[in-house]
Amino acid sequence: MKLILPAFLTLAAGACLAQQNTANYDESKAGEVILPAVLKSLDGAKITSSDEWTSKRRPEVLSLFQDHVYGRIQPKPDDLKFEVTATRRDALGGTATRKFIHVSLAKHPQWRGMDIMLYVPNKAQGKAAPVFAGLSFNGNHAVSKETDVPVSDRWMRPNTKNDKAVKNNRATEESRGVEASRWPLEMIVGRGFAVATAYYGDIEPDHAEGWKEGVRAALSSDAAGTVWKDGDWGAIGAWAWGLSRILDYLETDKDVDARHCAVIGHSRLGKTSLWAGASDPRFALVISNDSGEGGAALMRRNIGETTEIITRAFPHWFTPKYRSYANNASACPVDQHMLIALMAPRPVYIASASEDNWADQKGEFLSGLNAGPVYALFGKSGIGTESPPEIDHPVGDFVAYHNRTGKHDVLDYDWLQYLKFAARHFGM
Ligand code: GTR
């Protein structure tokens, strides 16, 4: 059966493939990359201590990212409401307790809210479990294979792998478990971690007009009439806001150790987990899986997706100002190594995939490498090697990196590294 897509989606999908084919992948044409100095303040002073970083340079870098890339971070709302809507103690074959929590804003009912799905290992037995928090592309019912998970009724992008999974931009029963391979729940819970996830479209549907149904319109003074200006938040900012609200809930749940929360995301949601980690220092550890342009990859390298391509295809993800750096990345006062540096001294893991040239694996590695001097101020070692490691050879201490064999995806291999990394840093 032929899938009928709204015109803007067919165009976006087609355009994206064409761009992937015509983008530059030749290292000799990557361009001259002179990175903005991470340890030099706007007044020209050199930053030489962790105190100077924390009190002076970090706030500067964080505001530069707000002004030029992702838009302003919104404060924690004062009308947040959490309602545990269902609890099942024998989830995942009896190994976990599963809860659903509805998050809403009491004074902003036009936002339909978000539903967190939380799995906590039963073997933790009264001891609060460290937790991974991340958003999904297809909803809670797509992450879990458990058939009593409600199917999301929110707007959804068509599923490129299974055209029966989403019809008329709504999920069908066919979409149960379509994202389960990216969320190995049994493995994560088996290692003693809890997992909290929600559908990113609950926060804001992922298309140019999606903000009108999301939290950005609800919190805007002019609701749907808003014209987004330089410095205003985009969809990545909204999704990262949602991750912080998940953490707000986790702080209230005694089964979970919210002080040990690792934020994780893949691709556009990897860009989101990085921005969440930068904007909310309560995230104790940050993971970027194949986040690419606008995520871990350096914007000054002309390899794979570029600022020009991403801001043409997905302008709603960023603050409008970011578009002005299309074909002009060297004018931007930040590059993505500075985003990684915002995590310091917290552990951060950057992962690439060997067939994911679109995300520029080397550019992702170089961001991690060039964040190293900030970690050094805290006496922490970074990625530990000047050149990208062999495929399937994870490296690094507080900044870790691997380039896994295969495609743009989240595989068990990736999770095995993240679980090891989190267990090591969380002292498990
Ligand atoms: C692509 C986009 C990437 C990445 C990816 C995804 O179309 O160009 O930046 O975000 O989507 O999220 O799957």
Question: Per residue in 255-288, pLDDT tens?
Answer: 999 999 999 999 999 999 999 999 999 999 999 9
Q: Which residue's CA is the nearest one to ligand 1's atom 10?
A: 268
Q: Is residue 205 part of a domain?
A: yes
Q: Is 293 in the pocket of ligand 1 (CB under 6 A)?
A: yes
Which atom from ligand 1 is nearest to the alpha carbon of 313? 8
The rounded Å distance from CA 19 to ligand 1 centre is 12
Q: Is residue 1 part of a domain?
A: no
Question: For residues 106 and 102, what is the distance between their CA atoms, to the nearest angstrom?
Answer: 12
Confidence of residue 127 (pLDDT cuts 50, 70, 90): very high
The rounded Å distance from CA 268 to ligand 1 centre is 5
Pocket test for ligand 1, best of 358, 360, 409, 410 (most atoms within 8 A of CB): 358
Across the range 48-57, mean pLDDT stands at 98
pTM for this predicted structure: 0.96
Across the range 104-114, mean pLDDT stands at 97
What local confidence, expressed as pLDDT, does residue 344 receive? 98
Which of 243, 233, 244, 211 is CA-nearest to residue 318? 233
Question: For residues 189 and 209, what is the distance between their CA atoms, to the nearest angstrom?
Answer: 37
Q: Is the peptide bond before 345 cis (omega within 30 degrees of 0)?
A: yes
Across the range 364-389, mean pLDDT stands at 98
Q: Is residue 9 part of a domain?
A: no
Q: How far, in Å, are 139, 195, 381 from residue 244 at the CA level?
A: 18, 15, 27
pLDDT exceeding 90 applies to what percent of the chain? 92
Active-site residue list: 267, 408
Question: For residues 115 and 98, what is the distance between their CA atoms, to the nearest angstrom?
Answer: 13
Q: pLDDT of 74-97, one tens digit each?
A: 999 999 999 999 999 999 999 999
300-324 in b/e form (b: 16+ CB < 10 A) is: bbbbbbbbbbbbeebbbbbbbbbee
Which atom from ligand 1 is nearest to the alpha carbon of 12? 7
Q: What mean pLDDT, rounded, does the chain reach?
A: 95
The rounded Å distance from CA 189 to ligand 1 centre is 28
Hunting for tokens 């990684």 — which residue is that?
340
The rounded Å distance from CA 234 to ligand 1 centre is 16
* Pairing of the two strands 166-167 and 129-136: unpaired
Pocket test for ligand 1, best of 137, 266, 268 (most atoms within 8 A of CB): 268
Confidence of residue 15 (pLDDT cuts 50, 70, 90): low
Pocket test for ligand 1, best of 266, 289, 305 (most atoms within 8 A of CB): 305
The rounded Å distance from CA 87 to ligand 1 centre is 34
Hunting for tokens 């002309």 — which residue is that?
302
Q: How far, in Å, are 331, 335, 336 from residue 308 at the CA level?
A: 13, 15, 16
Strand order in the sheet with 395-396: 80-90, 96-105, 114-121, 194-199, 129-136, 256-266, 285-289, 348-353, 399-404, 395-396
Q: What sign has the CA pseudo-torsion 8, 239, 214, 316?
A: negative
Asked if 290 contacts 304 with a C-beta cutoff of 8 angstroms, the reply is: no
What local confidence, expressed as pLDDT, does residue 19 receive? 83
CATH number at residue 200: 3.40.50.1820
Pocket test for ligand 1, best of 156, 272, 314, 408 (most atoms within 8 A of CB): 314
Which atom from ligand 1 is nearest to the alpha carbon of 305? 8
Q: Is residue 267 part of a domain?
A: yes
Q: Is residue 13 part of a domain?
A: no
pLDDT value at 382 more than 80:
yes
Q: Is residue 38 part of a domain?
A: yes
| 3-state SS record for the chain | CCCCCCHHHHHHHHHHHHHHHHCCCCHHHCCCCCCCCCCECCCCCECCCHHHHHHHHHHHHHHHHHHHHHCCCCCCCCCEEEEEEEEEEEHHHHCEEEEEEEEEECCCCCCCCEEEEEEEEHHHCCCCEEEEEEEECCCHHHHCCCCCCCCCCCCCCCCCCCCCCEECCEECHHHCCCCHHHCCHHHHHHCCCEEEEEEHHHHCCCCCCHHHHCHHHHCCCCHHHCCCCCCCCCHHHHHHHHHHHHHHHHCCCCCEEEEEEEEEEECHHHHHHHHHHHHCCCCCEEEEECCCCCCCCCCCCCCCCCHHHHHHHCHHHCCHHHHHHCCCHHHCCCCHHHHHHCCCCCCEEEEEECCCHHHCHHHHHHHHHHHHHHHHHCCCCCCCCCCCCCCCCCEECCEEEEEECCCCCCCHHHHHHHHHHHHHHCCC
Q: Is residue 10 part of a domain?
A: no
Q: Cα–chain-centroid distance for residue 396?
A: 20
Pairwise pLDDT comparison (9 vs 332), residue with the higher score? 332
Q: Is 305 in the pocket of ligand 1 (CB under 6 A)?
A: yes
Least confident of 214-228, 303-317, 355-369: 214-228
pLDDT value at 322 more than 60:
yes
Could you give the number of structural domains in the chain? 1
Asked if 48 contacts 57 with a C-beta cutoff of 8 angstroms, the reply is: no
Q: Is 204 in the pocket of ligand 1 (CB under 6 A)?
A: no
Hunting for tokens 């990113």 — which residue is that?
200
Confidence of residue 393 (pLDDT cuts 50, 70, 90): very high
Q: Is 310 in the pocket of ligand 1 (CB under 6 A)?
A: yes
What is the distance between the terminal CA atoms of the chain, rounded to a whole angstrom? Answer: 50
Question: For residues 33 and 369, what is the distance between their CA atoms, to the nearest angstrom?
Answer: 14
- For residue 380, which amino acid is it? K
- For residue 238, which amino acid is it? A
The rounded Å distance from CA 22 to ligand 1 centre is 16
Which atom from ligand 1 is nearest to the alpha carbon of 295? 9
Q: pLDDT of 209-249, one tens digit each?
A: 999 999 999 999 877 788 999 999 999 999 999 999 999 99
The rounded Å distance from CA 174 to ligand 1 centre is 23
Question: For residues 167 and 149, what is the distance between their CA atoms, to the nearest angstrom?
Answer: 19
- For residue 25, which amino acid is it? Y
Q: Is residue 46 part of a domain?
A: yes
Q: Is 360 in the pocket of ligand 1 (CB under 6 A)?
A: no
Q: Is 292 in the pocket of ligand 1 (CB under 6 A)?
A: yes
Q: How far, in Å, are 25, 132, 423 from residue 192 at the CA level?
A: 41, 11, 9
The rounded Å distance from CA 330 to ligand 1 centre is 22
Across the range 97-120, mean pLDDT stands at 98
Q: Which residue's CA is the nearest one to ligand 1's atom 12?
A: 268
Asked if 133 contacts 197 with a C-beta cutoff of 8 angstroms, the reply is: yes
Residue 224 structural domain: 27-425
The rounded Å distance from CA 146 to ligand 1 centre is 28
Q: Is 307 in the pocket of ligand 1 (CB under 6 A)?
A: no
Confidence of residue 12 (pLDDT cuts 50, 70, 90): low
- For residue 351, which amino acid is it? A
